[in-house]
Amino acid sequence: MAALLEITGLSKNFGGVRAISDLSFSVDEASITGLIGPNGAGKSTLIETVTGFLKPDRGVIRFRSREIQGMNPHRISAFGLMRTFQLAHEFPALTVMENMLVAAITDGRDSLWKAVLKPGVLKRAQDLDLVHAREVLDTFGLLELRNDLARTLSGGQKRLLEFARLVMARPKMVMLDEPMAGINPTMRARIQDSVRSLAGHGITVLLVEHNLDTVEALCSTVVVMAAGQQIASGTMENLRTNRAVVDAYLGPGIVARAAGG
């Protein structure tokens, strides 16, 4: 598989603190790749830097073979690389359906002249958006809630809406920042299925997550960070026997439980 995202020699410092230090790894197109590590490893800083919310001190970030380091978040998002946050973001005063339609690709439909000169084209595009939004909401089990205000949804439902909006926006890749955070355990299986659904819609996924069962269930390749650096990569099965990973993150207790001990 070809690499969709390539990170080479990336570093980000905050004063005397090295949040990311000479980090290099890649994410293959059409994959669900995991990114794990202890708190303070630099995972969230990495997401912020790759998606333009922070500027790197050094290094190269290539997305779709184009250097994007230093671009602002809007340009990076328009180029097809999007992210989620640890807390789901929605427009609380809008309905679920309105949240979906806000996320639709405009394709120039926000142009006043197009609306005036080609109202039929605009109307057909809006009708197609509505059909697509209903289909996506149905996929994520939210269609019956389409007329509910987003603020009335549970935490898990807000996360599902966030994923549905990503599909509506048609990115090439998304970076999911701890999607299981604050989620009721009964909702976790639905969230996992929703991540698979993103991949099923052709979206490459980088999954940052502390729930290792979720990572193992979803990710064929997992990158491990500690102290701002990559210390290992591979399958979760192999990483459980990697001494550096056990010492830095997993710990003997987790490894023993995974082995049935």
At 125 the pLDDT is: 64
Asked whether residue 204 falls in the same domain as residue 244, the answer is yes
Task: Return d(Cα 125, Cα 123) in angstroms, integer.
Answer: 5
What is the pLDDT at residue 71? 96
Within this chain, do residues 27 and 124 fall inside the same structural domain, yes or no? no
Shared domain for 12 and 61, answered yes or no, is: yes
- Does residue 96 share a domain with residue 76? no
What long-range pairs does 190-198 form, CB within 8 A, spacing at least 24? 190/141, 190/156, 190/160, 191/156, 191/159, 191/160, 192/217, 192/218, 194/140, 194/159, 194/160, 194/163, 195/32, 195/163, 196/32, 197/139, 197/140, 197/163, 197/167, 198/163, 198/166, 198/167, 198/174
Give me the CATH number covering residue 238: 3.40.50.300
Tens digits of pLDDT across the chain (261 residues) = 689 999 999 999 998 899 999 999 999 999 999 999 999 999 999 999 999 999 999 999 999 999 999 999 999 999 999 999 887 889 999 999 999 999 886 555 555 445 554 556 556 767 788 999 999 999 999 999 999 999 999 999 999 999 999 999 999 999 999 999 888 888 889 999 999 999 999 999 999 999 999 999 999 999 999 999 999 999 999 999 999 999 988 775 554 444 443
96 and 85 in one domain? no
For residue 157, give the 3-state DSSP assignment.
helix
Apex 41 CA angle, 36 and 44, nearest 5: 75
Q: Do 175 and 62 share a structural domain?
A: yes
On whether both 28 and 133 belong to a single domain, the answer is: no
Pair (135, 187) in one structural domain:
no
Domain boundary among 152, 187, 205: 152
Tell me the residue range of the domain where 148 lies: 91-152
